[in-house]
Amino acid sequence: MKQQTPDILQQMRDRLIMAHYRLGQKLRPSEVAAEFEVSANTIREIMLRLSAEGLLDYEDQRGFRVVGASDRLLHEITEFRIVLEQCGVERSIARGGIEWEAQMAAAHHKLSHIEARIRRTGDVVGVLKHWNDAELDFHLSLMGAADLPILQQSFRTVYARFRQQIVSPERSYAHREGNIIEHQRILEAALDRDVAASHDAIYRHLRRNLMPEPDARSEDTMTA
């Protein structure tokens, strides 16, 4: 059965955020089209859409390339992700009821199950798609009562770009034991309706992906 464009778009998006392609790798529409058994024009349109999402770089006459590894880009994406998530959870705390709390608890339960399985088996690759989807669902659930659809849309795009940068051989990606504890802290702070603690838990969960602040004293010494 011939695949539909939306299905191919999602498969390509999954490939780009789960290390199917190397960061910085050149992609030729004709080669990708042969894999999916569709026209090169169809794949080119899909790639243009993915470049608009920030997952591919495109230059006229030079074609498409997977976005390269960049500490600066990861820093900026992480900062923006923190801002979006903190805003979303703050609005949800103010507006959410028992349904929002149940949604968060259910999303966290699923994520915890997958992370516990990874800890037990050591298998990341086999459950990477499920893990990615479950983690996205949990973080989206934090802003589930914010009543701002554009916030969630923006978060999905930022999250995809974030995962693309960290799920790569260049960064020796692996499951962190601290993830389980950090997700639990985020959930508990949100359920306690504690905005400050929620902001702090989200920041602490993501801060390892931020570049260190320059040492002002070192800069003074260098320019002295």
Q: By the 8 A CB rule, do 55 and 13 touch?
A: yes
User: Strand 63-66 vs strand 26-27: parallel, antiparallel, or unpaired?
Assistant: antiparallel
Q: Is the dihedral of CA 111, 17, 55, 6 positive or negative?
A: negative
Q: Is 71-209 a domain of CATH 3.30.930.10?
A: no
CA-wise closest residue to 83 among 30, 26, 151: 151
Q: Which of 54-58, 159-163, 169-173, 186-190 has the lowest mean pLDDT?
A: 169-173
The tens digit of pLDDT for each residue in 175-224 reads 788 899 999 999 999 999 999 999 999 999 999 999 998 764 444 433 33
CA-wise closest residue to 51 among 108, 36, 43: 43
CA-wise closest residue to 51 among 71, 36, 32, 65: 65
pTM as predicted: 0.90
Tell me, what's the pLDDT at 173?
76
Indicate the domain borders of the chain: 5-66, 71-209
Q: Is 5-66 a domain of CATH 3.20.20.450?
A: no
Q: Summarize the confidence of residues 124-129 as an average pLDDT.
A: 91
Mean per-residue pLDDT of the chain: 92
